[in-house]
Structure 1
Amino acid sequence: MSFRKRNVGLSGSARSEGPAQTNSKDRIQLPGVRPSPVDGRPTTSTGTASLDALLAGHSGLVLGSTILIEESGTTDFAGALLRFYAAEGLLQGHHVHVLALPEQWGRELPGVFGESEKKETTPAETERMKIAWRYESLGQFGAGATTARERPQPTVGQPGPNGGAAQGPPIAFCHTFDLTKRLVHPAGSQMDFIQLEMNPTHSPFASTLERLHASVANSTPDTVHRIVIPSLLSPALYPPWSSQPQNILQFLQSLRALFAAYSNRLTALMSLPLSLYPRSSGLVRWVELLNDGVLELSPFPHSAEGDTTPSRGPSGAVEEPPQGLLQVHRLPMLHDRGSGVGTSETDWTFTLSRRKFTIKPFNLPPVEGDTGAQQAAGQEQKGKKADMEF
């Protein structure tokens, strides 16, 4: 008869003596980076909370990923997202590389929304869902937009909740920016402006790749790099021969090779004008295949005319009218079986205000004069609010 306890594993002592404990202590803490709630991959913020919540449930942009933002028309909503992305990188201590733009662009980045102004929020913005704290970080759309902005992240060398000597105040994972202000670059911030080569006999991106590779290779292991590529192939910034497939496709393929070599330290955000290069062309389809995420912005015609009169929603809160549609063509699923949460919605709306870029699901409002539909929408909103309170 055996007297061994059945609830004690035979290899319990061997498991406790593994090297996992030492590896967790030696792991490098990257600034402005936190693990994904889906699979634990390191993620960083794009500077737009609602965009972070849209990226496959990771609540941020996974390191080693690239996002392509396509925009039709003459507006520049994608340019605002790129500015938020660059400004967030400077505040987090990342090395920002800007392609084909002058240094004046760096002096026009939006400033941080003031702490005194944050207190002047509407009741709809301060009301939060009363759910368990464990579910707030699961990257659900809408919840991530609040938690990603409000939950502070520790700085480099700052201890966790177990104690230790602090080295500075906590830094938020995603800041709120004000387009009417100008960002004061932090001391020691790194921001490079890489110009293209204008020799027709050479690829305009050859020197760009050399500078990017040298900068990443010569930097310290705890340096995160952000690459900003605005208005890709636009004649206002790029020479005519840059749109030749042997130039642009070779550049994107070489960029992916650089991301594969330094997948835990690089992210990129680029925009493409669809008015000049439509999605029906083979070149644009190849450009999309060489990016991990593809989003398309389709502004409404009234957005260019400045028709942004606020309206009131079913709950009585003042809501900015949508300024266009956002279509998700691809999300950064990180391996063959998929690592991320896809969205059930196909169309979204976006609104760019003075303080933030907001992405919401696309819902048609009730027809004017249909009081029954409006009352039903209001009762449904109240019912959802009552169900969430417990």
Structure 2
Amino acid sequence: MSFRKRNTVINRPTSSAQSVVAKPEAAPVPGVRPSPLDGRLTTSTGTASLDSLLAGHSGFPLGTSLLIEEHGTTDFAGVLTRYYAAEGLVQGHQVHVLGLHEGWRSELPGISTDAKSSSKADATPGDKMKIAWRYETLGNAGAARDRDGPQRVGSSSPGSSDIFCHSFDLSKKLSAGEIKGQISFQPSMAMPGLAIQAKEVASPFKLFIKDLKAKLANSPPSWAHRVMVPSLLSPTLYSSALCCPDEVLQFIHALRALLRQYPTKLTAMITLPISLYPRSSGLTRWMELLCDGVMELVPLQLNAVHEPPPSGKSDSKSEEQTQGLVRVHSLPIYHEKGGGGSDGHAREDLSFSLSRSKGLIIKPFSLPPMLEDENEKKPGESDKASIDF
């Protein structure tokens, strides 16, 4: 029988075993951060309100696709694609565009410079609250969190100061100094005035998928890619031969396979004119099943939206006026555990408004308050109302 002293650790590891070799961490991808819901990697769509709507992930999950359907002849979905492409170029991502020519690059909005924030920061201390000083910034806490919260969060490390979602201005153009990434175009139709050779019989869908496969296979792990397909099957961009269901569904199915093959490098955004291809048709239904998220934009035909103000200056109230409704049919990675802040997307009506400085804002729809009708009387009109029997 062996004896040992008390307070003696059995099989104490040596100093060499205690030293743990630190593994080199992977290089952080700019514009990519983990989801607060389940930790999967997400990127920004360029629209902060759209990021907050995507099942609580506060961003666009990598390896997924989003289909945006729009009624009428408006181009609100085109604005979302411009923000999506501009955000990718500013973050240093690789943007792949199908159906457009290189001239579309000049239509991307530039980064906005908010002059109001600087004016508030330069306010004198005498203008601040002197009583209950700890509550002086409480009034704007909720608005700042909703508007600037996604912009201040870092991309990968918690202490990073990189901007996750930039704010763009439609009245400005994206300059060459702001572009860090690359953009490539695959036109679906030849430009007018150019002779079409007889040898060019390959489908633009297949050429686009082939080129995308090669770039994804040869790109380093620190590169993120964005696929953008604006106005899919529009007669102005696609010929009648490309509108065949076999061509379109094979393209979306191949794109879905690439999204599953590269779940940490690729996202895709597709827009569809729903007036030409209604949701009741079989082609549209199959496209919705092959995409991870489906949203529908229903613009409101209001004169106040299309007519400029009489003074020629944009008012804040007119910019925030509701210009359409948003219907969310499905969200990417909306699993059985539910989503974060968008659990009530099916029970709540959503609307959107578009302005040059603030961009496209998606918010809950609410009717304006009813005001009492004030009957304006003409001068010289009697106060007594005539009663006829």
AA matched with 1:192: S
Q: How does 1:125-204 map to 2 (within 5 A)?
A: 127-129=139-141, 143-149=145-151, 151-153=152-154, 161=159, 170-185=161-176, 186=178, 188-196=180-188, 202-204=202-204
- Alignment length, in residue pairs? 330
AA matched with 1:357: L
Aligned to 1:80: 79
Q: How does 1:63-74 map to 2 (within 5 A)?
A: 63-74=62-73
Aligned to 2:27: 28
| C-alpha deviation, 1:189, in angstroms | 2.6
Q: 1:278 to 1:217 in 2, by over 3 A?
A: same
| C-alpha deviation, 1:203, in angstroms | 3.6
| C-alpha deviation, 1:362, in angstroms | 1.1
Report the aligned-residue RMSD.
3.6
Aligned to 2:356: 354
CA-to-partner distance for each residue in 1:310-347, whole Å, 9 max, x for gaps?
Answer: 9xxxxxx8472100000111111255x35633431432
Q: 1:126 to 1:360 in 2, by over 3 A?
A: farther
Aligned to 1:313: none
Distance 1:26 1:238 in 2: 45
| C-alpha deviation, 1:238, in angstroms | 1.0
| C-alpha deviation, 1:364, in angstroms | 1.9
Give TM-score scaled by structure 2 length: 0.75
Distance 1:81 1:235 in 2: 20
Contact 1:197 1:205 (8 Å CA) reproduced: no
Identity value in percent: 46
Counterpart secondary structure, 1:301: coil
Contact 1:68 1:291 (8 Å CA) reproduced: yes
Consecutive unaligned residues of structure 1, counting only runs of 5 or more, are 131-140, 162-168, 311-316, 372-390
Distance 1:33 1:148 in 2: 12
Counterpart secondary structure, 1:321: coil
Aligned to 1:367: 370
AA matched with 1:210: K
Contact 1:70 1:297 (8 Å CA) reproduced: yes
Distance 2:180 2:370 in 1: 54
Counterpart secondary structure, 2:51: helix
Contact 2:90 2:179 (8 Å CA) reproduced: no
Distance 2:345 2:367 in 1: 14
Aligned to 1:385: none
CA-to-partner distance for each residue in 1:188-237, whole Å, 9 max, x for gaps?
Answer: 53110112377896543111100111111111110000111100110101
AA matched with 2:301: P
AA matched with 1:129: A
| C-alpha deviation, 1:90, in angstroms | 0.6
Distance 1:48 1:126 in 2: 25
Matched, 1:114 2:98: no
Contact 2:55 2:334 (8 Å CA) reproduced: no
Consecutive unaligned residues of structure 2, counting only runs of 5 or more, are 1-5, 121-136, 191-197, 311-315, 375-389
Q: 1:37 to 1:297 in 2, by over 3 A?
A: same
Q: How does 1:327-342 map to 2 (within 5 A)?
A: 327-333=327-333, 337-338=336-337, 340-341=339-340, 342=342
Distance 2:104 2:68 in 1: 19
| C-alpha deviation, 1:260, in angstroms | 1.0
| C-alpha deviation, 1:118, in angstroms | 4.2
| C-alpha deviation, 1:126, in angstroms | 9.6
Give TM-score scaled by structure 1 length: 0.75
Q: 1:350 to 1:334 in 2, by over 3 A?
A: closer
Distance 2:25 2:351 in 1: 43
